[in-house]
Amino acid sequence: MWFTREERIGIFVIGLSMLVGAYLLNERDRKALGNLNSCFVNGVDNSSNLSEKGKLINIDEKLDINTASCEELVQIPGIGPKTASNIIERRKIKKFKSLEELTEIRGIGEKKLSGLKKYLKVENHEVR
């Protein structure tokens, strides 16, 4: 025998701890990505309307960032699934009052905001 009984038990406990830790990390990441899964445009053939980056380029009217779905937001050039998810999470906490508030979203700075303004709008939605 190479290892004593106590050493084998120690190796077993360390291995079991590593497996449990890996499982818990995987579950945490799976839950964090849950919101992103709904952001991907699946099951719809938009290939005739796609630009070279895979985004829809025929957007007839501006989208309201307080009501647009994740699927609609990812169609905007410059907004990916993660950014769309961040926008939706932010508006659950507090509705947007102006487009400039988009700079509070990670990944959206002044330069990107100027490009997004032609696709987005903010409408006043009064709570009754």
How far apart, in whole angstroms, are the C-alpha atoms of residue 30 and residue 6?
A: 36
Tens digits of residue pLDDT in 109-123? 999 999 999 999 998
> Is this prediction's pTM over 0.75?
no
CATH second-level architecture of 47-121? Orthogonal Bundle (1.10)
Tens digits of residue pLDDT in 18-32? 999 999 988 877 766
pLDDT in tens, the chain (128 residues): 689 999 999 999 999 999 999 999 888 777 666 655 556 544 333 333 444 444 454 566 889 999 998 888 998 998 988 899 899 999 999 999 999 999 999 889 999 999 999 999 998 765 44
- Is 77 in contact with 51 (CB distance < 8 Å)? yes
Dihedral (C-alpha) 114, 33, 51, 103: value to the nearest 10 degrees?
0
Give the other-Cβ count within 10 Å of 75's Cβ. 22
- Is 36 in contact with 71 (CB distance < 8 Å)? no
Q: Which residues, including other chains, have CB under 8 Å from residue 40's CB and lie 6 or more apart?
A: 74, 81
How far apart, in whole angstroms, are the C-alpha atoms of residue 75 and residue 8?
A: 55
